[in-house]
């Protein structure tokens, strides 16, 4: 398949508007379009068309028991496809459009291929102007997983999308992903309780203003053998670079000492503040700037991008500090322990 590219899409120009028109047309006739969202790039198809969903699974080589999120242009459309509730209304008023996905009982109009046979469907209303324009123009909800090949880190740049999906989709639209990791996913359990299935740009602290928040086990821990998953995506090896990643538990000085003792060619995803000391390091590691130590939003924004770049650096291993689990850092922690296949090294 030949893939059409629109890397610099400007919605204020005639060319930009025509591009969105063509992309919307591709979705309507059952094709696949990759588009930027405020979280990561999505690999989209018509959510009401079971064939389109099948094409999505095939394009990213994803197991078809892992359901897709449907993307809508306005939160009010959620009631067309799901059974909404008061708690959904309150959450959507505050967080939509934005990086929140809510799992709700699905209406029969949603094909089983999209929900992977579950009675529920995940709904999200992205805030990215290109995502919004595309969904509105297509006139149908868009089913879209992250636009990576299954197992690799979600793409946050046009170039990374191309590396994975060139020739596998009809069109790729470029743009910026401000947040850099996938949306926060919640399941609504009652009128005042929800379960956090996947942490993201909306924190448990923010959600706590609306309901009691339970953390799904899979957020912080590896699933035990045979344990049932609440969000099927949690059971797959995820976000992983090909190069082994190790997370270091300990303070900055402990990390420095540990790294000084390492041989061979290795990479470090380092906090900005640590970089000066690493550059005079005896073992001269390849250093990537993860962002300021006190700026988890910046670290989230760079994480997936850097995991892919570190993979290309020809290093044997990658090291990074184990993040905290407070606030936005919970999303970092959740992605990093998976990327590291749960390999944590205590260095203190």
H or E stretch covering 184: strand 184-188
- C-alpha–C-alpha distance, residues 146 and 203, integer Å: 20
Nearer of residues 39 and 268 to ligand TXA, judged by Cβ: 39
Letters for 182-221 (x = contact with ligand TXA by CB under 6 A, - = none) are xx-x-----------x------------------------
Q: 111 with 53: CB under 8 angstroms?
A: yes
Q: Which DSSP symbol is given to 172?
A: E
Question: Closest separation between CB of residue 131 and ligand TXA, Å?
Answer: 8
* Only segment of 112-120, 133-141, 290-298, 321-329 that touches ligand TXA (CB under 6 A): 112-120
* Only segment of 82-90, 132-140, 230-238, 245-253 that touches ligand TXA (CB under 6 A): 230-238
Nearer of residues 171 and 270 to ligand TXA, judged by Cβ: 171
Q: 158 with 43: CB under 8 angstroms?
A: no
Letters for 165-184 (x = contact with ligand TXA by CB under 6 A, - = none) are -----------------xx-
Nearer of residues 84 and 216 to Mg ion, judged by Cβ: 216
- Report 94-153 residues binding Mg ion (CB under 5 A): 146
Binding to ligand TXA by residue 331, rule CB under 6 A? no
Pairing of strands 212-215, 286-291: unpaired
SS3 (DSSP) at 99: coil
Pairing of strands 171-173, 4-6: parallel
Neighbours of 47 (CB within 10 A): 30
Would you give the distance in Å from CA 150 to the centre of its chain?
Answer: 12
Nearer of residues 39 and 334 to ligand TXA, judged by Cβ: 39
Would you give the distance in Å from CA 224 to the centre of its chain?
Answer: 23
Chain contacts with ligand TXA (rule: CB under 6 A): 37, 39-40, 42, 66-69, 101, 103, 115, 118, 120-122, 124, 144-146, 182-183, 185, 197, 231-233
């Amino acid at each position: 398949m030949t893939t059409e590219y629109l890397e610099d899409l400007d919605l204020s120009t005639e060319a930009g508007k025509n591009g969105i028109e063509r992309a919307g047309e591709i979705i309507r006739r059952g094709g696949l379009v990759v588009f930027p969202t405020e979280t990561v790039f999505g690999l989209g198809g018509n959510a009401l068309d079971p064939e389109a969903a099948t094409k999505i699974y095939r394009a990213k080589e994803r197991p078809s028991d892992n359901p897709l999120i449907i993307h809508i242009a306005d939160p009010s459309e959620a009631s067309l496809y799901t059974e909404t509730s008061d708690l959904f209304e309150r959450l959507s008023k505050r967080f939509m459009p934005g990086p929140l996905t809510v799992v709700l009982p699905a209406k029969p109009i949603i094909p089983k291929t999209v929900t992977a046979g579950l009675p529920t469907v995940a709904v999200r209303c992205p805030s990215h102007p290109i995502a919004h324009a595309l969904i509105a123009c297509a006139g149908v909800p868009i089913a879209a997983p992250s636009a990576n090949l299954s197992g690799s880190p979600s793409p946050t740049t046009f170039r990374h999308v191309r590396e994975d999906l060139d020739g596998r989709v009809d069109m790729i639209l470029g743009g910026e992903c401000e947040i850099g990791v996938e949306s926060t996913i919640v399941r609504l359990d009652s009128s005042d309780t929800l379960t956090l299935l996947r942490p993201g740009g909306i924190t448990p602290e923010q959600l706590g203003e609306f309901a009691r928040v339970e953390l799904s086990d899979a957020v912080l821990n590896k699933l035990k053998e045979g344990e049932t998953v609440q969000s099927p995506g949690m059971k797959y090896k995820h976000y992983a670079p090909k190069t082994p990643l190790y997370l270091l538990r300990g303070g900055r000085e402990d990390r420095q000492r540990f790294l000084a003792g390492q041989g061979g060619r290795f990479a470090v995803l380092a906090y900005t503040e640590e970089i000066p000391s690493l550059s005079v390091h005896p073992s001269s590691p390849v250093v990537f700037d993860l962002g300021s130590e006190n700026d988890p939003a910046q670290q989230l924004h760079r994480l997936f991008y850097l995991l892919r770049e570190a993979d290309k650096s020809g290093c044997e291993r990658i090291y990074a500090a184990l993040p905290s689990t407070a606030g936005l850092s919970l999303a970092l922690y959740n992605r990093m322990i998976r990327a590291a296949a749960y390999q944590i090294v205590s260095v203190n």
